[in-house]
Structure 1
């Protein structure tokens, strides 16, 4: 049998039943006899004997004086299976976020996924992320920085409220958002362009991700192709906060101030 096929068969054997994983994990903890494993795992004696025979065949387990114990190879297999199980569990939880973030999130730290608060818009709650993101924006403290691939009246209104206080804002958009703002929210755009408390930047290429942070918190927002909010991950200071600020700075470096865009348009129009 080819090596790869044999290895695939071993993987199938271990993952084919939760009883097999439980037996191997139990023997990694301490040696045991079949009747002890039956009691701990709630499986029949026949099932346990069949599992032990399969493990002995693969040299993951050995028998000595009636006791079965895991070999160093069996322990390694058990450890790696546990790591894979945890990663797949994490992938299932964060799939809605990962599916819509795109390649910009390839370096998103694993710790951020484990410690952050996740909100997902699903069939039963299609506006869950919109509602949570609105709440997050309304609680901004200190200076505020954001990247957004969309423009919407509720977000503009919250921005205006922040500017009425002592909040300084840096906001990165792309040309599509700029054109939509000109067409639908001209007065809001003029407020942003003229207000000393906000600096708007226009990114050189389309933006596909939303990030925001204030002095103590951050969030990452994923959108679908129709710019609907699909998932949001938020946290306080830590790995996600550091990653969010780095993403914002990279986008800002590749952008030009809105005032420069207006100056360029006026220059062209005046020729």
Structure 2
């Protein structure tokens, strides 16, 4: 069992995180040494509060006072750097939460480029269709052939796929048995097209799918779904590492899938 930090380390962390002003003072001193009066001009705190913060930093040897000015020690610099990195990671976690919370086991080897908030489009209670609309737009902007995985079927996706097929784009498409069942009941034209159209090869995965993935010649789009199969977030990237990951992921899912025509033939035999 790995031992955690001792109580003193926790107390030091609690001191730093106890108020925004404490980090603000640390940040100001990271830029340059300063007197308490200088800090009062740049930090929203009283002189008494500033003095208490500086005393707390001095007790922990994060700052030293020389010629009336406080400056960071080497330890103070490291504390500032690590805490700044933690704040950035927490901000990233908050932004990426709608994606990360709905990826399941796939999240364990997700490329870090897909966790960049700038790559994300997320839905909200106020705008529940934001992510799925962006995913549809992505499909309409493809360059080259497409490989895709989807745990849902909608008329919007079917229409986007039809546009691609009519433009001569080839699609390798992986669905699961739930999507097949829904297609058989509600989207028979699209299902027939999936079997007969020369530009699409459709496969049925042996277990329920929990992600959406699309990739063209150079881009990747990953979609995360909630328990009701609503698209909650998508991440887009053209990074080489992301493309390699998506390529391997698609192949792994394809290895566990059967051609749609084969699955339908088996169903007919069993009826």
Please report the TM-score for the alignment, with normalisation by the length of structure 1: 0.91
What CA deviation, in whole Å up to 9, does each residue of 1:18-72 have, x standing for no partner? 1111211222333222222222324322111100100111111122232222122
Distance in 2, Cα, partners of 1:239 & 1:48: 47
What CA deviation, in whole Å up to 9, does each residue of 1:127-178 have, x standing for no partner? 2122222222222221011000001122112212211221110001111111
Structure 1 residue 113: Cα displacement: 2.3
Structure 1 residue 116: Cα displacement: 4.3
Distance in 1, Cα, partners of 2:190 & 2:160: 11
Q: State the partner residue of 2:163.
A: 161
Distance in 2, Cα, partners of 1:186 & 1:253: 26
RMSD: 2.0
Which of 180, 196, 199 pairs up with 1:197?
199
Q: State the partner residue of 1:185.
A: 187
Unaligned runs of 5+ in 2: none
Residues 112 and 239 in structure 1, CA contact (< 8 A), matched pair in contact too:
no
Distance in 1, Cα, partners of 2:240 & 2:118: 10
Unaligned runs of 5+ in 1: none
Residues 95 and 117 in structure 2, CA contact (< 8 A), matched pair in contact too:
no
Q: State the partner residue of 2:253.
A: 251
Write out aligned runs for 1:71-86 (5 A).
71-86=73-88
Q: State the partner residue of 2:68.
A: 66
- The change in CA–CA distance for 1:221 and 1:3 in structure 2 (over 3 A counts) is closer
Residues 151 and 179 in structure 2, CA contact (< 8 A), matched pair in contact too:
yes
Q: State the partner residue of 2:120.
A: 118
Q: State the partner residue of 1:20.
A: 22
Structure 1 residue 266: Cα displacement: 4.8
Residues 96 and 116 in structure 2, CA contact (< 8 A), matched pair in contact too:
no
Write out aligned runs for 1:1-271 (5 A).
4-114=6-116, 116-266=118-268, 268=270
Residues 201 and 259 in structure 2, CA contact (< 8 A), matched pair in contact too:
yes
Task: Give the paired residue count.
Answer: 268
Residues 149 and 173 in structure 1, CA contact (< 8 A), matched pair in contact too:
yes
Residues 116 and 235 in structure 1, CA contact (< 8 A), matched pair in contact too:
no
